[in-house]
Amino acid sequence: MGEKLVLVKNLRKSFNEPILGGVSLEVNRGEVVGLIGPNGTGKSTLVRILAGVEEPDSGEVLVRKPSVLYQEDYLLPWKRLRENICLWSKFRGKNCDLKYAGRLGLENYLNLYPKQVSGGTRRKAAIARALSMDFDVLILDEPFTGLDKGSKKELLSIIKELANSGKGVLVVSHQLEELFKVADRVYLIGGRPAKIRKILRREELEGAL
């Protein structure tokens, strides 16, 4: 088993009521891990905890140098797509890598503002921004939403390349066909409060396609 880039043990989180009720999962270097489950089971809450935006009530959380794509694109409306993609790289004094923007077909949109492009293009810009970061583990919350078939295929290719290069990738998605093509392991979360109900291994995912 490779180095653990994400380690979650018995994670609990409540707001007005319990949301996460003892969730445990891990992502190792060089693998793609999926997380699936019904709406309202705390998947995005878990993503925010992994990103450090939310604090857990209890449990152990270890995340090594993450880059996060949230469900919301969080593009600054007063900045062009190029500036949005390069935002965090510039903030950290790093060179901005637009390689992934090119691979996702954004070349002709980089000088436009978010309101001037489609929702799918905004989503690709948010993905390109996450990919431009220096990270050990990439955490993607519903990355395929709004993408056309070609862009989904390219993103799957990028995810595989990242894992092959030694990165870890955690993908939260309702689009099981895409997820099952790329994941080494998928956690099924459910219930209220939510727990991991089942873990599907690579051989089981291949049989489900």
> Torsion angle of alpha carbons 129, 132, 134, 136, nearest 10°?
80
Which residues belong to CATH 3.40.50.300 in the chain? 1-65+137-209
User: What pLDDT, in 10s, does the model give residues 116-133?
Assistant: 999 999 999 999 999 998
pTM over 0.85: yes
How sure is the predictor about 205, in pLDDT bands with cuts at 50, 70 and 90? low
Class of domain 1-65+137-209: alpha beta
How sure is the predictor about 45, in pLDDT bands with cuts at 50, 70 and 90? very high
What does the alpha-carbon distance between residue 127 and residue 104 come to, in Å, rounded to a whole number? Answer: 9
**Tokens of residue 150, six digits:** 């070609």
Round the average pLDDT of the chain to a whole number and report it.
92
pLDDT value of residue 105: 95
